[in-house]
Structure 1
Amino acid sequence: MTLTFFDQFSSPYLFGVPLILLSTLLPSLLLPAPNTRWVTNRLSTLQSWLIHTITKQLMIPLNNPGHKWALILTSLLMFLLMINLLGLLPYTFTPTTQLSMNMALAFPLWLATLLTGLRNQPTTSLGHLLPEGTPTPLIPALIVIETISLLIRPLALGVRLTANLTAGHLLIQLISTATITLLPTMTTLSALTVTILLLLTILEMAVAIIQAYVFVLLLSLYLQENI
């Protein structure tokens, strides 16, 4: 059977059963479980320091009412980090390359931030649709534009994460295919493509971390507007 470059993004199956749920839950099983000892090992200490640093960074722009979201936002960031980084390993499947999954994460959380604002401070939340000092003739057009901008936010969140990871995986596969093809005939050029592939892999690791952080950071900024 002939495979295409896009087959790596299709959900894996085993005996007709989709394995996307397993590939989504498996990364969380690799995290060390916390223990009740006074002196923990180095891995648990590093994990606690990382979670504390991430939570502190995410909570800086938020007011005290927004700190209730610390567990959700930190858990989401760790979840996306694990999936994105493990998806760079060979013969693995990255669930965050699926737009449906990213939209399933983005839309409910965006809607929760919007409903939180409409419940707690409806006047301020609706006031974002009309900037202060707008000329009277431009009011209807600006309300329509700001409403469209508000409704397109979850789509932008999901598409940004999907597009960046998909483009990186495709580029890695293209260069690795070129490396294998050139190896028997043009060894020097093949060595150059291997170097490019290593540099690109390092870049994709940075992209995986940055995109997970940007996804959660934008959600925290949307939350900031509604608390």
Structure 2
Amino acid sequence: MMTSFFDQFMSPIYLGIPLMALAFILPWLLFPSPAPRWLNNRLLTLQSWFINRFTAQLLAPMNIGGHKWALVLTSLMIFLITLNMLGLLPYTFTPTTQLSLNMGLAVPLWLATVLIGLRNQPTAALGHLLPEGTPGPLIPVLIIIETISLFIRPLALGVRLTANLTAGHLLMQLIATAAFVLLPIMPTVAGLTAIVLFLLTILEVAVAMIQAYVFVLLMSLYLQENV
């Protein structure tokens, strides 16, 4: 029996094996690989069209140097969307509700973009810490503020993804519990609550896709500043 609404966000362990490892493998098992044929089926065609359109839109504003990240960013997008969507199914676990996982994705990628900027264009990368035309007395303060804003970027990425998914899942569970409790007492109100739950589920599907896209989009913007 669930003792707390937040128990659903704990990393489950079955027979001593963390199920988060199984969740990591599922995206690669669900998506089919392209076949060496002239014509593919509808699923492969739709999958290829989505990947091509997303990659073209994501890399359009970038320089040529940023195009090397196409495979990483596209794979990350598909990976996050799959994990978020699978977490909406009954009796499943959403790994992206864990802040440790999201920070584990955000920090290395963010650090890679910073190191690329320091290696390729160190003057421009350091110039972001101090806006042009800043008065002399404000220079130390602005450098500290810009440095803090730089290091807070991966935290913002991880917390944004975690908070949105956690809040949505928790709200769905609260409304579902209310509908279940009200069913024998006030069936009409329980029916209206179930309709609200259905609409919220549709919203959560959109949030699962949008948050994955926002995560990758912000990472591409950080990359764009450093290439």
TM bin, normalised by shorter chain, reads over 0.9
- Letter aligned with residue 58 of structure 1: L
Query: What is the aligned partner in structure 2 of residue 215 from structure 1?
Result: 215
Query: What is the aligned partner in structure 2 of residue 119 from structure 1?
Result: 119
Question: Superposed, which structure 2 residues align to 1:79-158 within 5 Å?
Answer: 79-158=79-158
C-alpha separation in 1, matches of 2:184 and 2:24: 38
Question: Superposed, which structure 2 residues align to 1:2-151 within 5 Å?
Answer: 2-151=2-151
What do you get for the CA RMSD once the two structures are aligned?
A: 0.8
- Letter aligned with residue 99 of structure 1: L
C-alpha separation in 2, matches of 1:183 and 1:28: 40
TM-superposed deviation, 1:188: 0.3
C-alpha separation in 2, matches of 1:21 and 1:191: 38
- The farther-off stretch of 65-74 and 20-29 is 20-29
TM-superposed deviation, 1:2: 4.5
- TM-score, normalised via structure 1 length: 0.98
In the alignment, structure 1 residue 170 sits paired with structure 2 residue 170: yes
CA gap 1:2/1:82 in 2 versus in 1, 3 angstroms: closer
C-alpha separation in 2, matches of 1:223 and 1:39: 36
Kindly provide the CA deviation profile for residues 128-174 of structure 1, in whole angstroms up to 9, marking residues without a partner as x. 00001111110000000000000000000000000000000000000
C-alpha separation in 1, matches of 2:211 and 2:225: 21
Kindly provide the CA deviation profile for residues 73-113 of structure 1, in whole angstroms up to 9, marking residues without a partner as x. 00000000011011111111000000000000000000000
How many residues in Structure 1 have an aligned counterpart in Structure 2? 227
Contiguous gaps of at least 5 residues in structure 1: none
C-alpha separation in 2, matches of 1:135 and 1:25: 53
Q: For 2:200, what is the secondary structure of its paired residue?
A: helix
- Letter aligned with residue 183 of structure 1: L
Contiguous gaps of at least 5 residues in structure 2: none
Query: What is the aligned partner in structure 1 of residue 225 from structure 2?
Result: 225
TM-superposed deviation, 1:28: 2.3
C-alpha separation in 2, matches of 1:219 and 1:17: 32
Q: Percent identity?
A: 70
Give runs of ≥4 in structure 1 deviating > 6 Å: none
C-alpha separation in 1, matches of 2:41 and 2:140: 60
Kindly provide the CA deviation profile for residues 188-210 of structure 1, in whole angstroms up to 9, marking residues without a partner as x. 00010011001101111111111
Query: What is the aligned partner in structure 1 of residue 204 from structure 2?
Result: 204
- TM-score, normalised via structure 2 length: 0.98
CA gap 1:161/1:2 in 2 versus in 1, 3 angstroms: closer
C-alpha separation in 2, matches of 1:185 and 1:16: 42
Q: For 2:164, what is the secondary structure of its paired residue?
A: helix
